[in-house]
Amino acid sequence: MIDKPLLAAVVALLTLSMVMSYSLSTYTVLYFHFSDFHFFFRQSISIFIAFTAMVVLSKLDPDKWFVPVGLTLFLVFFLLMLTMQFMPASLVKAVGGAKRWIHVGPISLAPVEFFKVGFVFFLAWSFSRKFAQKKQMGFIEELRSFMPYIIVFLAAVVIIAIFQKDLGQVVVLGATLMVMFLFVGSSWKFFLTMLTGIFIAFIGLIFFAPHRMARIKSWWSTVQDSILSVLPFEQLQTLRVAVTAKEPYQISNSLNAIHNGGIFGQGLGNVQFKLGYLSEVHTDFILAGITEELGYLGLALVTLTILFIVFRIFKIASKVKNPTYYLFCIGVGLLISFAFILNAYGISGITPIKGIAVPFLSYGGSHIIAISVAIGMVLMISKKVPRDRNGKML
C-alpha cells in the first residue's frame, strides 16, 4: 500500500500551483498578448504528466524497478548536461552566456532538475553498497572513501555553476551531499573540513563571477542598514554600498507584496504587485504572490504542507529496512527542504535571490515533473513499509 497522506499533500500543492499560475500571470499575459489561460494550460499539461509519472512509478515493484529508474535518471541527465554545451543553437539557446534549457519544438527541458534526483539516487545506491558495514575510519581513510563522490559533485559544480551559471542548484546539491555524508557515518572532523572547503569554493565562485558579485552587492544594499546600525564599530560603516541595482527593487516589491497580504490576503486576483512589479511572480516569487493573495494564513498552510510532505518522506525512510531506500528518501526530503528554504530566504531578503523554484508550486514543467518522479519513487518505496491491518505504519 502506498503512502496516501503523502500523495494527497503533493496533489494539494500541485492543484494550488495550477490555480496560482492562472491568477499570478495576469501582467505577463497582457504584456506579451497571450491568451488568458496561456500559463494555466501549460502548467496543467506539466502537472498531468507529472501526476501520471508519479502514479505509474508508485505502482512498480521497487525491488525490480527502483535501481533501473534511478540509474537512468543519473546517467542520462548527467550526459545531457555535459553534451548540451555542444548542441546547436537551434536546440540550446544561450541566455546571458548560460545554456540551461534544451528546446525541442514547444517542449523545453532543464536536465539539471532531473539530475538532482538522479544524483540523490546515485549517492543512496553507492553509499549503501560501500558503507553497508559501518566501521570507524581515520580522517585519511574517510577522505579516500568519500573522494569519488566529491569528484562527481565537483564535476556537477563545473557544469551547473560555471557553464549554466546556476549557483542555487549547486547550493542545494552541496547541502544535500554534506548531510548525507553524516547519515552514512562520516566523522564531524571530516564533515567540518568538507564544509570549510565547500564554503571557500562557494566564495570563489562568487568572486570570479561579476554577475554574482553584483547580486551580492544588490542584496547587501537592502539589509546593510538593519545590520550595520546595531554594530558599534565605525570602521564597519565603510561596508555600505549605494543602491543602484535592480535586485533590491525586486526584493523590496516582494516584501511589500508579503506585507500587503496581511493575515487573510487580498483575495485571488485582487492584488497589485503581480501587475508588473514582480517580474517572476508565478515562478521564483510565487510565495510572495501567494502571500499577497491568500495572506499569512495561506503561506502558513503552504509551509505546513511542505513540512508534512518532508515529515512523511522521513517517516517512510525510518521504517524501511533497505539502506538504499532509506538514504534515497532522506535525500529527496533534503532536496525539497533546501529548495524551499533557499527560495523563502531569497524572497524575504534574508539571502540573495538564487532563482530556485518552490517545489510543487513554481511555474515550470521540468522541476514539477522531476520532483514528482522523485515522489513517485518514494511512494514506490513506501509499499515496503510494514503496516498494521488498518494500513498504518508499524
Grid coordinates representing 211? Answer: 554577475
How far apart are the C-alpha atoms of 80 and 96, rounded to whole Å?
20
Q: What is the pLDDT of residue 129?
A: 86
Determine the longest span between alpha carbons in the chain, in angstroms. Answer: 68
Instruction: Evaluate the CA torsion angle 237, 238, 244, 246 in order and state its sign.
Output: negative
Q: What is the pLDDT of residue 226?
A: 62
Q: State the amino acid at position 170 in one-letter form.
A: V
Grid coordinates representing 213? Answer: 558579485
**CA 342, chain centre distance (Å):** 8
How far apart are the C-alpha atoms of 356 and 226, rounded to whole Å?
25
Grid coordinates representing 187? Answer: 566523522
Find all residues with CB under 8 Å of 100, minimum gap 6, and list them. Answer: 110, 112, 164, 166
Nearest to 131 by CA among 93, 186, 76: 186
Three-class secondary structure of residue 107 per DSSP: strand
Q: What is the pLDDT of residue 377?
A: 97
Low pLDDT (below 70) residues in the chain: 94-97, 132-135, 209, 211-212, 215, 218-249, 394
Q: What is the pLDDT of residue 52?
A: 97
Q: Are 293 and 270 in contact, with CB atoms under 8 Å apart?
A: yes
Distances 61 to 73, 314, 381, 391 between C-alpha atoms, Å: 17, 20, 8, 18
Start-to-end CA distance of the chain, whole Å, equals 13
Grid coordinates representing 327? Answer: 538514504
Q: What's the pTM?
A: 0.89
How far apart are the C-alpha atoms of 241 and 238, rounded to whole Å?
8
Q: What is the pLDDT of residue 144?
A: 87
Grid coordinates representing 199? Answer: 564554503
Grid coordinates representing 79? Answer: 550526459
Strands (E), the chain: 102-104, 107-109
Q: What is the pLDDT of residue 28?
A: 84
Instruction: Evaluate the CA torsion angle 101, 157, 217, 272 in order and state its sign.
Output: positive
Q: What is the pLDDT of residue 30?
A: 82
How far apart are the C-alpha atoms of 255 and 345, rounded to whole Å?
11
